Amino acid sequence: MRRYFGFIVIIVLVLITFLGKNNSDAQDTEGVKINIFNVSKGEFEKASKISSNKDELRKTLTEEQFHITQEEGTEAPFSGALLKNKETGVYQCVVCQTDLFLSDAKYDSKTGWPSFWEPVAKENVETREDNSLFARRIEVHCPKCGSHLGHVFDDGPAPTGKRFCINSAALTFEATEKNDETQ
């Protein structure tokens, strides 16, 4: 009996350790404080990471927006509504409206996707390695809600040399007055 008791204690300890780790992993993303630059306020502000409810997103996003942001999809080249947009303003995350890119950093990469040479601030995008399609690429995600936005490559223009190749369907565009930008 004593032998079994020791065995059970070990199993319980292993379970506690394992479940405890899972809980802390969940907290690692949900609620974690991050710094994000807010363009309209002109300053960094603290935000909390959120994990979006997929069922809710299926109701609020189009099928394409859901596929691209939640299932790492890619829209067909030259199909995006914002590809040729030349208005002055801010490109935001379609899921959580985090400011991602300024129109000042948009350029025509001829690839068929909206392209930017830098984000609003380095804190306003998150990157992860993507080893699908037999090639190593760097994925770009929203730092707040985790939505998949596109990829970043090293063949962009000066001064950064980066090409943030972003799906139009992952973005919303907020036009700003030119006066606001020059102040």
Q: Choose the catalytic residue: 93, 142, 145, 165.
A: 165
**Residue 155 corresponds to which tokens in the numbers above?**
């063949």
Q: Let me know if 142 is a catalytic residue.
A: no
Q: What separation in angstroms does the CA of 1 have from each of 11, 13, 15, 160?
A: 15, 19, 21, 68
Distance in Å, CB of 101 to Fe ion, minimum: 13
Distance in Å, CB of 70 to Fe ion, minimum: 11
Contacts (Cβ under 8 Å, ≥6 apart) of 93:
100, 142, 144, 145, 147, 149, 170, 171, 172
Half-sphere exposure of 120 (CA within 13 A, CB side): 28
164 close to 119: Cβ distance less than 8 angstroms? yes
Distance in Å, CB of 114 to Fe ion, minimum: 16
Which C-beta is closer to Fe ion: that of 103 or that of 124?
124
Pairing of strands 163-166, 171-175: unpaired
Which C-beta is closer to Fe ion: that of 52 or that of 115?
52
Distance in Å, CB of 141 to Fe ion, minimum: 8
Which C-beta is closer to Fe ion: that of 96 or that of 112?
96
Which C-beta is closer to Fe ion: that of 141 or that of 163?
141
Q: Which residue has the tokens 């985790």?
A: 146
Residues at the interface with Fe ion (CB under 5 A):
93, 95-96, 98, 142, 144-145, 147
CA dist 117 and 54 (Å) reads 31
Q: Which residue has the tokens 């995350």?
A: 93
Residues annotated as catalytic (active site), given as ranges: 165
